[in-house]
Structure 1
Amino acid sequence: MGPQPESQFTAIRNMISFWVFGMCNNFAYSVMLGAAQDILKRNSESEDVASNMTEHCVEKITFRDCAPASAGVVLLCNIIPCLIVKMTCPFFMHHIPYAVRHFVICAVQTASLLVTAWADSVPTALLGVLLASFSSGFGETTYLGLASHYSKNSISTWSSGSGMAGLAGTFSYAALTDVNLMALSPRNAMLVMLVVPLSFTLSLVQQNNIPRYYSVVLFSHNFRYYCLLVRAPTVPAIKLFSPSTWLDFSSPYRRDLPEVESASDVTVNSEPKNNRLEAQNRPLQEQLIVLKNLLKYMIPFGTVYFMQYFIKQGLIEMVIFDCSHGFHTTIASQYRWYQVFYHVGVFLARSSANVVKLNFFCISLTAVIQVGGMFWYGTLSIQSLWLCRFQTSLAALFFLTAIYSFISHFIIVCVLMFVVGVVGGCNYANTFYHIHRKVDPTDREFALSTVTFADTIGILTAAIVAIPTHNWICAMPWYS
């Protein structure tokens, strides 16, 4: 029997599942970046429930209010484990069934929030950041690899969910800790957020006469059935009480994956040849050849990530406003709300992949635009385009504002951060959409898992550059 069309209902279930994967997987990672300044100021004396009540907006700024260390330090800790995972996992993690990986991701993410919440020193808090980074990187390679077994729409819904993770994580943290709103301490805010990874963990339970639609991902006793996500035939099942099924050395990257297009004509091979798709071991040399062919996606993808993270973790923390120009928010709150506006842009852009589809030239151009934002004179060849001119000015404005503070109001910076998020989010969603559509099905799972390595390199570079930039600008006198 050939591939059978799925019902529209099944397609919607799968799309919702990948949205939830993206949301839950990136939640802790986003919280850590939004809480970067609080993590760097961590000490046991400040951790009471009303600690934020001692914070007030600054009536007049006469000096640079710099944290002891750049937020790039948190970014560095939030990316190094992720980088290691993404460099190594695509070559061996296909031997670990997806269900096992899911439980590991949930457990590590829960531990990251607990460690950070109860830390009474900066090094301990940074350990929590390291754990969040590991879970995020392992999850991204896992769920993007899983998406290769499903429709292209799984990529767009994953992108949307990961965008919502940033928005939900930063907004909830900003609202919970804002002195004018909930005024919780950073510790209590972190503990409240445990509901996300715990809910994600509980979404994998045994089916003992429980309706299948009560959780996000629900397996039976032999882990074969999902609640929302319909298990593709190419996704191996495991048995909960049979540890021998927790590793599968007979399952290399699947070749001849079924072609699936859109939600309206999704296909899943419900009766694979010989009840199983043919699998062939891919030697390392062949994997490296595939990796070389992916560089055309990875280079612009990583470049965009470098620029946007240099802005949001390296420059924006030094753009501050007094009471009259900052809606009477504290300096710490301003940083948190910058992150919220950035993630609003990311979420909207990542959710647009099914509506706004960029061709490969436009994807590459977003990288040029972001780089141009930092180097005015290096982009004269493309300044005939109004979008390039605008984006060329964008990052330069952040850099110059961090030094000279000439932007007049807090809300203007928030709008600019929103635009930075839109550019980066649009690049993310469309890059993976094009890979899913154009890369040969036999290479798709490896490609989707591997390209995530490029954004990690970009973020790592941004973190390294952000630290000396922070120290250099903080050593300058205050200009106003």
Structure 2
Amino acid sequence: MMENSVNSDPAGGSGTPGTGPHNDARGPRWRNWTGFWLLGLCNNFAYVVMLSAAHDILQTQESQNATTPNATFPAGNSSSSSSSRYDCNPVSTAAVLLADILPTLVIKLAAPFVIHKMPYGVRVLLCSFMAATSFLLVSFSSSVWMSILGVIFASMSSGLGELSFLSLTVYFSREVLGGWGSGTGGAGVLGALVYSGLTQLGLSPQKTLLLMLLIPFIMVLSYFFLLVAPPAVPQWTSRDTEYSAVSSEDRQQLVDGPEEEEQDKPAPVTGDRTTGPLTLTEKLDVIKGLLRFVFPLGLVYFAEYFINQGLMELLYFPTFFLSHAEQYRWYQTLYQVGVLVSRSSLCCVKIRKLWFLSLLQVVNAVVLLSAVQYQFLPSAWLVFVVVLYEGLLGGAAYVNTFYFISKETADRQREFAMAAASVGDSLGIAAAGLAAFPVHSHFCSL
């Protein structure tokens, strides 16, 4: 495992980065890895839960139309007024996906250019507040629009958190990227599994969501009390310029360990400048250089979320022992299991051929689209296998993308590059949500 370059007190105090070969005690190293794991878990938890609850969120409107304005989520079998053979909700679950991703996309497009003015401590508190608000809004929702508003708060929390924590990794040993990736995968499994499991056991979705208010609290504890952050991290005071808090030499010591491969040493993207804040021209040049990472990542996520929110609801087997809502929940859960496994694989295998992962994911989407059209799959068990494999591909694409961006970007540009590249998955997800609407309308009209 790579050596951490932060000299810190094992009890939690921060020291001076890179002062000697034995300055990184095992305690701070594992605290940082575990801290980023928990931050990844907490950051993506609300986002995942909202997608797992998408079918129930849309069913709420039908329950309210049939009963009273105070009706809450249905917890049992789904029923639809649709006469379609696909047992469709009137509105595609892609509506929840778009509410869950569009605010994230807006934040990721704009924030990398200005987010350095907001200290990391303030960002964490803001993310926690928005995540808690999302759970409260959806759990006490009396209409779909109120639920969608809660989903939007979850999206804003996740988007701000992702670009912030990816940027934060440049102040630590590169191994914390493995912790972050594994934690985001863990969020998928725990979020989907907890929601599916508790509702399967009979707990109402409303009470389930209220229990999840513990997650934003864990995020705050993980950041402020578990991480051993170097003094260079702008905790409470804003910066007028980016990257000025850490010199190029110190940043190299912070992110590189003794096991780093020499052939992957980054080369500057623009000009001869090695110090000072990035200019707008340099930022645009960095973004241009990131396209070889952003496009494959976006394609992977387009294919998998087209499956998740455009096709999963339509892959319904009436004779299976699970109801329609239950089938949908477990599709989401198994997909997240695949994501967890592959996002935790960085310590074992690294995949540089990102386009290959993209093409395999597109094949998955084509196969399942054909299965919806021609209904040739005999059982939900086969869908379970495919969505597990789908999650493996998506998680591998994510964690390898940011690992190689971290290795192949110059020190001065790395913090900006990590934040800017995070838009790739969101672009793919947003495009998938838009594409899912006509597909849903077509099949539900049959």
**Matched residue, 1:299:** 295
In structure 2, runs of 5+ residues without a counterpart are: 1-15, 261-273
1:284-340, Cα deviation, whole Å (9 max, x unpaired)? 1111011101111111111111001001111111001124xx2x2110010000000
Indicate how the Cα distance of structure 1 residues 62 and 132 shifts in structure 2: closer, same or farther if over 3 A, else same. Answer: closer
Which residue pairs with 2:369 in the alignment? 399
TM-score, normalised via structure 1 length: 0.80
1:72 aligned partner: 94
2:344 counterpart (333, 340, 351): 351
Aligned counterparts of 1:171 and 1:133: Cα–Cα separation in 2: 20
Aligned residue number for residue 20 of structure 2: 4
Distance change >3 Å, CA 353–CA 409, structure 1 → 2: same
Alignment counterpart, residue 337 of structure 1, candidates 330, 333, 350: 330
Q: What amino acid is aligned across from residue 463 of structure 1 in structure 2? A: G
1:159 and 2:181 matched: yes
Q: For residues 191 and 237 of structure 1, do their structure 2 counterparts lie closer, same or farther at Cα, with a shift above 3 Å needed?
A: closer
In 2, Cα distance between equivalents of 1:51 and 1:284: 51
Q: Give the equivalent residue in structure 1 for 2:209.
A: 190
Q: Tell me which residue corresponds to 1:93.
A: 115
Counterpart for residue 258 of structure 1: 252
- CA deviations 1:25-59 (Å, max 9, x no partner) are 00000001111111112245487689425x3899x
1:87 Cα offset (Å)? 0.6
Unaligned runs of 5+ in 1: 204-215, 219-226, 239-244, 266-277, 374-393
- Tell me the distance in 1 between the aligned counterparts of 2:329 and 2:178: 27
Identity score, percent: 36
> Structure 1: how far apart are the matches of 2:73 and 2:131?
26
**Partners of 1:282 and 1:135 in 2: CA distance:** 27
In structure 2, C-alpha distance between the alignment counterparts of 1:56 and 1:366, rounded to whole Å: 35
Equivalent residue for 1:461, pick from 406, 431, 435: 431
Q: Match for 1:364: what amino acid?
A: W
CA distance in 2, matches of 1:330, 1:151: 46
2:232 to 231, 234, 237: 234
1:111 is the counterpart of 2:133: yes
Provide closer, same or farther for how the CA distance between residues 41 and 57 of structure 1 changes in structure 2, counting only shifts above 3 A: closer
TM-score by length of 2: 0.86
8 Å Cα contact 1:119/1:125 also seen in 2: yes
Alignment of 1:199-348 (within 5 A): 199-201=218-220, 203=221, 216-218=222-224, 227-238=225-236, 245=237, 247-249=238-240, 251-252=242-243, 254=246, 256=248, 257-259=251-253, 260-262=255-257, 280-323=276-319, 326=320, 328-348=321-341
- Note the C-alpha offset of 1:403: 2.0
Separation in 2 of the partners of 1:436 and 1:132? 27
Q: Is the 8 A contact 2:94 2:434 kept in 1?
A: yes
Secondary structure of 2:155's partner?
helix
In structure 2, what is the Cα distance between the partners aligned to 1:125 and 1:309? 20
Q: Distance in 1 between matches of 2:207 and 2:193?
A: 15
Native 8 Å contact 1:48 1:185 kept in 2:
no
Aligned to 1:472, the other structure's residue is in SS state: helix
Instruction: Verify the 8 A CA contact 1:315 1:399 in the aligned structure 2.
Output: yes
Amino acid at match of 1:363: L
- The aligned counterpart of 1:52 is 75
Partner of 2:46: 28
Residue number in structure 1 paired with 2:399: 429
Give the Cα–Cα distance (whole angstroms) in 2 for the partners of residues 57 and 32 of structure 1. 20
The answer to whether the 8 A contact 1:42-1:119 is kept is no
